[in-house]
Amino acid sequence: MNKIKITYRGWIGHFILGYRCVFRLNTLVESGDIRVIVSTVGKLLPKDFFLGKGGDYETISYETYYETMVFRATLAEEYYWDWDGDSDNMLSIKGKHRVDHMDITSDKEAQEMHEAAVQEIVDRICSGEIS
């Protein structure tokens, strides 16, 4: 069995407007030389929020308020010597990857979606599907 290391990180793992996302999870899954980033973002503040104007949360893509994406990791030497998602090397996930509504349950649903994606990646590494 492969030894798995999971590191929860506090910065945005993907999405150009991620700085406007209230919800952001970035998890590094490692096993030997294998490194995978699981990133979930959502709850996008309206573009005028920083101008003191209110408004509803915006979608981050078509009818999507939260999304999870998975990438192989690459060492970001030029910035901060840490592992970052390689946008040219995205991995698909079989489980849920988006939340299409915004209500009191959405954050919990997005958290569960992220954790399920992390577990899927762990299982796929342990089975040898991701090497």
pLDDT of residue 78: 65
Task: Report the Cα–Cα distance between both ends of the chain, in Å, rounded.
Answer: 13
Tally of helices (H runs) and strands (E runs) in the chain = 1, 6
Residue 68 has pLDDT above 60, yes or no: yes
pLDDT of residue 1: 53
Whole-structure pTM over 0.95, yes or no? no
Residue 75 has pLDDT above 60, yes or no: yes
* Model pLDDT for residues 32-56, shown as the tens digit of each residue: 999 999 999 999 999 888 777 878 9
Residue spans per domain, the chain = 5-126
* Model pLDDT for residues 81-130, shown as the tens digit of each residue: 677 787 877 899 999 999 999 999 999 999 999 999 999 999 999 999 99
Nearest in space to 120 (alpha carbons), one of 90, 87, 96, 89: 96
